[in-house]
Amino acid sequence: MTRKEFFSRVGFGAAVVLVPACIGGLASSCSEDEGSPVPAPTNVDFTLDISTGALATNGGFLVHGGIVVARTNTGDFLAVSASCTHQGTNVNYNAAGNNFICPNHGARFSSTGVVTQGPATSNLQQYNTELTGNSLHVYS
């Protein structure tokens, strides 16, 4: 057996063994058992400086302590739990739609955290915001 034949057979053998495992992994990647949402933070009480960073401009957002804090295109502030209620991936703020979107499976939530598109079935927890100068107070 030549070296070329050897590597050809070994490569084919590895493919035969690995392909079913890979396909099985892909098939179960959206199963309900995989991943679980992190419970929404409780007793929330923190202050952010909005003079710099993502919240200094309209449309920006950040995640702090398990909460997504966003600044709308009109300059208002929103705060909801960051963990998607479907499988726990952090949601992102979509300034154009003024909503929150899970990048994992496409669940959508309104600006107040209400489910508008599945697969999520539970709302995100909403938190209060209060702006004083450049300090944004986020609290339960």
Residue 6 has pLDDT above 70, yes or no: no
pLDDT for res 95? 97
Predicted local confidence at residue 79, as pLDDT: 98
Q: What is the pTM of this model?
A: 0.74
What pLDDT sits at residue 22? 45
What is the dotted CATH code of the domain comprising 45-139? Answer: 2.102.10.10
CB 138 within 8 A of CB 128: yes
Please provide the average confidence, as pLDDT, over all residues in the chain.
84
Domain boundaries, the chain: 1-30, 45-139
More confident residue, 49 or 14: 49
Q: Which helix (H) or strand (E) holds 101?
A: strand 99-101
**Cβ contacts of residue 22 below 8 Å, gap of 6+?**
none
Considering only CA atoms, which of 101, 56, 58 is closest in space to residue 82? 101
Mean pLDDT (whole number) for 5-34: 47
